[in-house]
A and B are shown apart, each in its own frame.
Chain A
Amino acid sequence: MLNQGDACPLGDGVIYVARAGQSLTERLRAAIQAKPDHFHPQHDTAGDAAAEPELYLNATRDTRYAHERHPVFDHVVTLFTQQWVGIRASAGSLPGAKLAIGKAAQMGPSQVRELLQILEDLKVHTVLVHGLSDGVIRAVHAIRIARPELRICAIWHGALAAWSLDEERGMAQRLFELATEGVFDSISVMKRGAHVLHPKAVPYLVPNFPPTVSLRRLRPAGSSEKRTALFGSWNNTWKNMYANVAGAALSRSIDEVISYSDVDGHLVDSSKIRRAHYRNRSHHFALLANVDLVLNATVVDCHPMVEMEALAVGTPVLRGPLDLDFGQETAFEKLLTVQSPHNIAEIVETIDRISSVPADEMADIIADYKQLVMTTAIGRYADFLKS
């Protein structure tokens, strides 16, 4: 545990934990004195309007789909990595301030100053970290040193199966190290049962929020004569694209299957398949809000934003067994979950079953489940941010 005034090794250097009551400049000095040579001010390409600053507070993309202010998130700032788009989308749904940090942000003197100023201006009591990167790690280190009184909580996205990838595994390791070192006061792994990995991990899931989307459906899902299903993900191992697309194509309930990824027509009957391109999130919502079913029967997942986005616009989601710790008895879970995502026949049956539900009944099922997700998430965050 870091105490105020302690000298403490950090990397190759030594840092001094700031004392309460020190000025911003003194806290800044404490934060950057570990290894001055390590910090080189850098500036992204001048005049390039598309590049984001490495510390980007309340970017439009991070706030436009956020929920309204909620007391649980008062004096909370949510940190995440700019380039981790899925985690960024997840964080973007939350109420409150958002700080997007470049994955390789060096956190030089000016950036640390800026970071600390942001915390002061927003009167932050709690820092909520979603996912990790080198840039985020440097940032939370600086915060812990300069502002030891703040609570810092971290949420890890993704299942352990992803640790087959070196970068994922390395960052997971850093998560636990930072918890052990006292940088994080509490952590949550978004997978049921994963709390046994660290004593600071809370035993409950802290679910994602559905985003707030102002687009409304032109007609209820399932009410069109021509029914469309959307596979809106990448074609990789855990997204299980071919099972989803093949199952939908084989279902007589579906007239058209739209995919954001190329589908090999030799393996799947391509007569129903249509290729679409993901342009941006707003464009995606326009399509999402006007299809009848989203295909997301994945083999590895935590709490998918694909499902949260579909809930936001009232579109049912075909899903795999997510093993969440809430909602198991809901009609949504029972109706839309494929128990074995490898089983194409089951996928076809599930799609046909979904399609047989009257449109207005399905709309109620989705609305009820969305409300449950929201209520659960708010309650869990309330506990987590104080744990």
Chain B
Amino acid sequence: MQRVCFVSFEIVPFTGGGIGTWLGNTLNAFQSPDTHCHVLFYGRQAISQVEFATAYPNATLHVLDVTAPGDDVLLPGQPAEPTPFESSKTWVSYALMRKLEQLERDLGGFDIIEFVDWGGPGFFTIQQKKLGRSFANTDVVVRLHGTETILRQFETRPWGYENLTLADIEHQAISQADYCVSHIKTNIIAYQETYGLPDTWATRCIVELPPIKANTDAIDTITPTSSTNLCFSSKFQGVKRPILFLAGAVEFMSASAEYTGSAIFAAFISDQAQVHQIHQIIPEHLSDRVTLATSASNEARDKVIRSSVVIFPNAFETFCFAAYEASMAGGVVVLNEKNSAFGPDTPWIDGVNCLKFDGTVAGLVALLARIFEPGNWATLGAKLAPIKYHHEPVPYWLQKRGRQIPAPAISHAPAPVSIVIPNRHGPDELLLQLQDIAAVEDRPYEIIVVDRGSDDYASRHVLDLLETSDTDNGPHSVRVLRRTTASNYAALANAGIAAAQHDIVAILPKRQRDTSSFIGAAADAIAAGGADIVLPTLRILKHYDDLDVLKFWIPLGGALRTNLFVNRFGFGAFIARRDLLIRQPFDEALPGEWSWDVLLRLAYSGSNVVVDIDRGPSVTESDLWHWSSAKEHERQRLIEGVRRNAWRMRDRLDFPWTSLGDGELTSSEWSIAPQAQVELQNARNHIAWLESERRHLIQDVPESASSGDGTLARLQAEHRAAVEAYQALANARTVRLALRLGNTVKRVLGRGR
């Protein structure tokens, strides 16, 4: 028996939405002794076990509250709150992964875990599988319902940082999944073009017509009369083109004196802006013939649909259940032929089960004129009948397609690794780092310290000892390469990589500690083929001797969009296949941000970048400041250099220009120099201290308020000056802070589809 878990934020009858409809249809259609379906629901709607069991008696419900996953889901030491994830969708993906790990621990593994593509919820689950950590015997699958990136080609989004991260985790989930499932073949082509996915990805995709539950199974399509209504039954959403429907209907109704029907919007509202726009353009003389029946009951809506000419001007769909339902109910279905979901290689045939127009207002008007021309229907609709639709009878998980793609087989022989440490001064830091690495005793390793002309005695002495000590200790060795101060970090790293003897290389900056467990796990994952590059999650400490992690810094994997604007790869520590770093070495001509640059080029060249959320070095926050330029002109110079290099790599993926606004806004928000942030914080701290002193003085020595003692007066004057200084600092950034607040609000409230 196959255990299949569908991860979804929608499911009928508890929520609306096309995904919820598809899931409900699927659960009902594929009940069999061979399949036990589970649903991991993470939507906002509360669903009780009793309600679910009534609707789906043969399926099992699991629920995740993404706002509070719980202690049995998030174990001690794991990131446990959304802030370091920087976007709500990334956090949701992580929480889902932890919930699935809990289910795997408690119930045993699933054979299939299927995610929706929208929002990239499968991202972190896939990372864990790539690392060989969890879901070893599970196919992790993504179904193509329509991502934000796809939708954004057809409708606008408010600019923001979250758009970038969302697009990137969607992209990575789709490209890294074991395989994808699509309702129709044309989606695969569309996704491949949009994301620049290779043919190897397309060959891993499965095409499977989904089950549809028609409310009515009509034998015939209706014969339209002069009073037959025109109906828009999709969502109020830009990609569905409701304005085009209205424009076509209004133009037709204005031109045809004989036609007496109405234009009815029997549509689900997801975009109030669209509704408002529609109200604005309904002509006065037709105001009583255009109806917004958005709150109609399902029965009333079905009645309208099956007795109407139902028009789908939608620019893009991955399937469009509404069109199939309308046809099966007997309505005349009119489709935009430019929409790939209605084109060749789909069940829709012009004149047989639908009528198609060219996607323009004029084209729609012309077709409506032909439909309602007296006497013409006999010819036009002679063969028209409800679509004869049959879904795939045996779902993919029961078909012998040889699809189970196991997790990377982590070998019992630990993979050898070369560890390159660019070094200058700090012999104590170097020694401690070497001690950390020595904990990786179970594998062969070599350490290559590439020194940049350290000239203090202690550093030279330690390096001399490393060179002359018996450090070639069987499978472990330490080497020192000497360079001068003319070599920058990139040159040091390249020298170490060139000298490395093993196929896997770790780059370890100084002052990043406790790296041994990360290095070992990442090297094994790369050796097993699960990844080309592994990025660690940083543990930020207040001080190196602290045990408590202040916060986490979490990379976004091979995020092609986000990393064009801000560095979300990390702070220098990563592990990669050596051959990749030979083909794409660190750029020694850049004045900084070398790791960001090389990782972006590697990501653009198609390397499989994986995030290890469980392991990574410890570092103090003050050490991270050194990685970012404090001055605005330096920051711009570095970003331009990084982008220039990435631009040369983009032969497969053309950067979507819709993301430019997101990037401009992100850059402007993030351009507050770290030093200025420190100044602001210091000013706030000083004001808080003065207020505290004043309060305590008045409380503990009440006579000070009236004694004329100068202490209180001095405190008050100092407080006033500090407040003025703080306001002067803050005013310069008011606009940027407002933008940041706007994005924070958006993130908190969430955005629907």
Spell out A's residues near B (CB within 8 Å).
Answer: 25, 28-29, 32, 36-37, 40-41, 43, 46-47, 49, 60, 63-64, 109-110, 113, 214-216, 218-219, 224-225, 228, 258, 274-277, 279, 282-287, 289-291
> Which of chain A's residues have a CB closer than 8 A to the CB of B545?
60, 63-64
B427 lies within 8 A of A47 (CB):
no
CB of B700 closer than 8 Å to a CB of A: yes
Surface stretch bound by A, among B593-601, B681-689, B736-744: B681-689
A109 lies within 8 A of B700 (CB):
yes
A109 lies within 8 A of B696 (CB):
yes
Q: Which residue of B lies closest to A289 (CB)?
A: B431
Known contacts A215-B432, A283-B426, A285-B428; A275 and B465 CB within 8 A of each other = no
A275 lies within 8 A of B457 (CB):
yes
> Which of chain B's residues have a CB closer than 8 A to the CB of A37?
709
A64 lies within 8 A of B427 (CB):
no
> Which of chain A's residues have a CB closer than 8 A to the CB of B690?
43
> Which of chain B's residues have a CB closer than 8 A to the CB of A28?
700
| C-alpha spacing A287/B545, complex, angstroms | 20
Contacts between the two chains (Cβ within 8 Å), count: 102
> Which of chain B's residues have a CB closer than 8 A to the CB of A43?
686, 689-690, 693
B431 lies within 8 A of A219 (CB):
no
| C-alpha spacing A290/B427, complex, angstroms | 10
> Which of chain B's residues have a CB closer than 8 A to the CB of A258?
457, 461
A41 lies within 8 A of B462 (CB):
no
Q: How many residues of B contact A (CB 8 A)?
A: 40
| C-alpha spacing A37/B682, complex, angstroms | 29
CB of B679 closer than 8 Å to a CB of A: yes
Known contacts A41-B715, A46-B722, A64-B543; A216 and B435 CB within 8 A of each other = yes
Contact with A along B446-479 (1 / 0, CB 8 A): 0000000000111001100110110000000000
Among B426, B466, B699, B701, residue most surrounded by chain A Cβ atoms (within 10 Å): B701
CB of B692 closer than 8 Å to a CB of A: yes
Partner of A110, one of B430, B466, B686, B697: B697
Spell out B's residues near A (CB within 8 Å).
Answer: 426-432, 435, 456-458, 461-462, 465-466, 468-469, 543-545, 678-679, 682-683, 685-686, 689-690, 692-693, 696-697, 699-701, 704, 709, 711, 715, 722
A283 lies within 8 A of B428 (CB):
yes
B700 lies within 8 A of A286 (CB):
no
Known contacts A32-B701, A46-B686, A110-B697; A215 and B428 CB within 8 A of each other = yes
| C-alpha spacing A285/B628, complex, angstroms | 30
> Which of chain B's residues have a CB closer than 8 A to the CB of A277?
456-457
| C-alpha spacing A47/B678, complex, angstroms | 8
B468 lies within 8 A of A41 (CB):
no
A215 lies within 8 A of B462 (CB):
no
B465 lies within 8 A of A219 (CB):
yes
| C-alpha spacing A214/B544, complex, angstroms | 12
* 28 A-B pairs in the complex with CB atoms less than 8 angstroms apart: A25-B699, A41-B715, A43-B690, A46-B682, A46-B685, A46-B689, A60-B545, A64-B543, A64-B545, A110-B692, A110-B693, A110-B696, A214-B432, A215-B432, A216-B431, A225-B468, A228-B461, A276-B456, A276-B458, A277-B456, A283-B426, A283-B458, A286-B427, A286-B430, A286-B431, A287-B458, A290-B461, A291-B461
> Which of chain A's residues have a CB closer than 8 A to the CB of B461?
228, 258, 287, 290-291
| C-alpha spacing A113/B701, complex, angstroms | 12
| C-alpha spacing A361/B751, complex, angstroms | 71
A47 lies within 8 A of B458 (CB):
no
> Which of chain B's residues have a CB closer than 8 A to the CB of A225?
468
> Which of chain B's residues have a CB closer than 8 A to the CB of A110?
692-693, 696-697
A338 to nearest B CB, angstroms? Answer: 25
Known contacts A47-B686, A286-B428; A215 and B465 CB within 8 A of each other = no
| C-alpha spacing A110/B690, complex, angstroms | 11
